[in-house]
Amino acid sequence: MPKRNSSVVGREFGNGVRYAIEQSGLTQRKLAELLGWQEAKISDLVQGKGGVDEVDLVRLLSYCRAPVADVEHLLALFRESREKGWLLFPEDGVPERLRSLIEQEQLASKIIVWSMNLIPGLLQIAGYIRAVAEKSARLKPADIDAFIRAKLERQAILRPGREFVFYVHEQALRLPVGGPDVMRSQLNHLHTMLVRRYITFRVVPTSIGAHAGLASSFVQLRYEKFEPVVYIENHNTGLFLEDKASLDMYAEALKGLDRDALDAEQSRELITSILF
């Protein structure tokens, strides 16, 4: 079956409209009657396909009695929904920063992570997250506990039904984040997680020098129904890439990491050697 042409921002917009309708207590059929639309028009809207203008959207949200803040947020997403790629400037309240990535991870059937400096977020323990957060330039001290909760809740996705592949540089395993006790607990947690058959963990060793992932860390999300996307982030922004040229470039980087990395068994042995 061909994959649907649907952007990340379009899907988030559609989810927001669906939530507004659900909160109103109206069915899609009843809402269509009130608006004088075909029900299929609302169905397309909640699937992120568009088919309306801003006036139509405001009318729909008015019938749903959506809060003003939600209306403004959905209008902003609507204006972005025809772009290929989506640059996020997160608002205050750090857990919101993760929301778009979490929603896309929940849709994905395969998640491939390349992490150059840190243990990947999906595999981090609370003490490790706290140590990283306390050094972050973007986090206020009052936000740290909420940030840790959001990161740990995100890890609920690590269950059968999806495939996870982690490429991690050896320096991330040896960087003493939080001190020796935290790192020992973190590496022991990795050992525990790696017995799960749907998780593959491979280390790019320091000994090879230059490697295919030097440009940056990133996440590739693959879907059954949609084309893949790549997510990268820095201090204060997150970026979803969806254009073919960028996707091809990151696909080549993953091929290079596959060549450069130790196999899964060698990677486990390396973790053991660091622990003991």
**Segment 76-94 mean pLDDT:** 58
Tell me if the pTM is above 0.85.
Answer: no
Of the candidates 48, 53, 49, 27, the residue with the CA atom closest to the CA atom of residue 39: 27
Judge: domain 86-275, CATH 3.30.870: yes
Question: Can you give the pLDDT at residue 95?
Answer: 46
- The per-residue pLDDT for 86 is 53
Residue 258 has pLDDT above 70, yes or no: yes
> Looking at the chain, how many residues does it have?
276
Q: Of 189 and 46, which is predicted with more confidence?
A: 189
| Residue 219: predicted pLDDT | 95
* pLDDT above 50 for 107: yes
Across 80-84, 157-161, 215-219, least confident range: 80-84
Q: 33-67 pLDDT, tens per residue?
A: 999 999 998 988 887 776 788 888 899 999 999 99
d(CA 42, CA 48): 10
Find the mean pLDDT for residues 222-249.
Answer: 85
Q: What is the mean pLDDT of the chain?
A: 87
The residue-averaged pLDDT of 200-208 equals 97
The band of 8, judged by pLDDT with boundaries at 50, 70 and 90, is confident
Residue 1 is predicted with a pLDDT of: 42
Domain ranges of the chain: 8-80, 86-275
Place of tokens 């079956």: 1
Domain covering 8-80: architecture:
Orthogonal Bundle (1.10)
Q: What's the distance, Cα to Cα, between the start and end of the chain in Å?
A: 49
